[in-house]
Amino acid sequence: MKNIFASIAPKDVDVVLVSVPWTDTMMPLMAVAALKSVTIEAGKSCVGLDLNANIYDWTKTHPHQNKLADFFFNNTHYSEIEDDIFFLYKLYAETLLAHNPKIIGLSLLTYACQVSAKYICYFLRKLAPEVTIVVGGAGCFDTMEGNNFYAHDLLESGLIDYYIRGDGERVWQEFLKGNYTYPGINSSDWLQLSNNDLESLPYPDYDDYNFNLYEVAAICLIGSRGCVRTCTFCDIIEHWTKFSYRSGEHIFQEMLLQNKRYGIRNFKFQDSLINGNLKEYKKLLQLLASHNEKNPENSFTWSSYFIFRPEAQFDESWWKLTAKSGAWRLVVGVESLSENIRHHMGKKFSNEDIEFSLRMAKKYGLKFLFLMITGYVTEVQADIDFAEQWYKDHAEEYRDVIKIQLGGTLGVMPNTWLDRNKKDLNVVVFGPPYQHWNNTVTGSNPKQRALWQKHLFKVCQDLGYTLVDAIDNHYILELLINEKN
C-alpha cells in the first residue's frame, strides 16, 4: 500500500484536528474546518485534516472494497486486507504526530467511524502517550441523544483523555480554556447554541483541505441547527429541541468570504433543511439571485436538504427565485411515496405537493435528490407495489429531474418516537443494528424489507432513473438479505 497521506506537509502546531473514516461521501466533511477556526480564535496553532477523503479515494479502487466495508462496520478481519489495514492506521497516526501536537481531536461523523477510531487511538497512545486525545461527533454515541457507552469505554480503557458531545464549537472553546467541567465534556449534558451564538462563531477554515480529492469541490456551511418537523423515525429533534438559525445576510456574507478565500463557487449546506425559516430563506435567495445576476463570471451554486411545502406556502414565485439563487440540487426526505405512510411519519406534504414541486423543478431547471426509506413500520406489500407504479408513471417526464437514494431499510433508533411507541406499533426490536426488527402483525422482517429495497432499486434502474449507490448501503443490504430468519 502506498502512502496516501504523502502530500501532507508536517508543521509544528498545538492542535491537530482530523476526520475519522469511514464516511462514504464525495464531499468535504465540515466539522474539522469549523473546529479549526474556533481553535485559532482561542489563540492556538492548528492543522485541520479531512483524512477521510484520502481513505475514501483509496477504497474506490481497492480490489477488496466489500471486505473493507465489513471491517469498517464490524471489525471483521480478512487476510486479504490485514496488511493494508495495519499500515493504514499506523500511517494515519504517524501523519498526525508528525505535526508534534499537544492535542489531537478526532471527529466521528457516524457510528461507522467507531472501529477506525479505536485502532487510531491505540496507535496514537503507543507512539505518543503524552499527547492528549479527544473524540467528538455523533459517531461517538449510539444515537445523538443515546448512551455514551462507546466514548465512555474509550475513556475507561485509557485510549482517550476526553470526549465531547453537543454543539461542539462552544464545548471545544471551553475545553481549550481548560474548563473541563463544562457541559458536554465527558458528560451527557450540553447546552444548545442560540441564534446569536451561531452568528458569533468564526467561519470554518478549510486551508488544510485538498479540494482536488473530492468529486465535488464545494464549501460546506451551516445555516441552522435542528428541524421544524417532528418525524417519528428521527432523533435530531431529541438532540436539538429548538430550531436555531442564522440570518440570510449572515450566511451570504460567509459565502462571499469563502469564495474569496478559495475561489470555489459551489456551496453545500449541512443543515437538516434550508427552508425551515421562510423569512430568512427568502432573504438569502434574494441576495444570491442579485449576486448571480451581477456576477455571471462568479455566480454561486448551492445544494441543501430541503422540505416540500404546500403550494399555498411555497408558490411558483418561490421556485423561480430558488432557481435564480443558484440552487443545483435540493435533497428532500420524501421517505415514502405512500401518503398514508408519510402522514404517519409526520411528513406534512401530500402527493399533490410532490407533483407541484416536480412541475416547478422541471420548469425552472432544478434537480431533486429523493431520500427514500424502505420498510416503514406500517409498510406492507401494497405500498411497495404503489411505489413501483409511481416510479413507472413518472419516469418519462421526471427521470432527469429526480435522483433517487434508496439509502436503507428503516432502523428503529433509540430516542425516537418509533422506539418509545414500538409496543403499540407491534414492533419488536432485536438489534442493534437497528434495522433488526419485526412487526408481529404484518410480518415485516429485515430480510423482507431488504428484498423490497433490492426490488425497487432494480425497478428504478431499469426505468432509467439515476440512483445513488454506496459501498456501505450495498453492504448492509446484502447482510440483511443473507441472514437466516
Domain boundaries for CATH 3.40.50 within the chain: 15-198
Name 421's Cβ contacts closer than 8 Å, sequence gap at least 6: none
Spatial distance between the Cα atoms of 28 and 19, rounded to a whole number of angstroms: 10
The CATH architecture to which 15-198 belongs is: 3-Layer(aba) Sandwich (3.40)
Which residues sit opposite 466 in a β-bridge? Answer: 403
pLDDT (tens digit per residue) in 367-416: 999 999 999 999 999 999 999 999 999 999 999 999 999 977 999 988 78
pLDDT tens digits, one per residue of 223-255:
999 888 889 998 777 777 888 999 999 999 999
- Exposure string of 414-443, with b = 16+ CB inside 10 Å and e = fewer, is bbbbbbeebeebebebeeeebbbbbbeeee
Grid coordinates representing 290 are 442579485
**CATH number of the domain at 217-482, out of 3.90.79.10, 3.40.50.720, 3.20.20.210, 3.20.20.70?**
3.20.20.70
CA dist 48 and 334 (Å) reads 35
Q: Where does the chain hold its CATH 3.20.20.70 domain(s)?
A: 217-482
CB atoms within 10 A of CB 90: 16
Relative to beta strand 327-335, strand 368-374 is parallel
DSSP structure class, residue 386: H
Each residue's pLDDT, cut to its tens digit, for the chain (485 residues) gives 899 999 999 999 999 999 999 888 888 999 999 999 999 999 999 999 999 999 999 998 999 988 998 898 888 899 999 999 999 999 999 999 999 999 999 999 988 899 999 999 999 999 999 999 999 998 887 643 344 588 999 999 999 999 998 888 999 999 999 999 999 999 888 888 999 999 999 999 999 999 999 988 999 999 999 888 889 998 777 777 888 999 999 999 999 999 999 999 999 999 889 999 999 999 999 999 999 999 999 999 999 999 999 999 999 999 999 999 999 999 999 999 999 999 999 998 999 999 999 999 999 999 999 999 999 999 999 999 999 999 999 999 999 999 999 977 999 988 789 999 999 999 999 977 788 999 999 999 999 999 999 999 999 999 999 998 765 555 556 666 666 54
Single-letter amino acid, residue 449: R
Strand partners, 195: none
Angle value at C-alpha 167, between 267 and 181, nearest 5 degrees: 150
Separation CA 236–CA 244 (nearest Å)? 13
3-state secondary structure 82-136: HHHHHHHHHHHHHHHHCCCCCEEEEECCCHHHHHHHHHHHHHHHHHCCCCEEEEE
Strands of 219-221's sheet in order across:
219-221, 266-269, 301-306, 327-335, 368-374, 402-409, 466-467
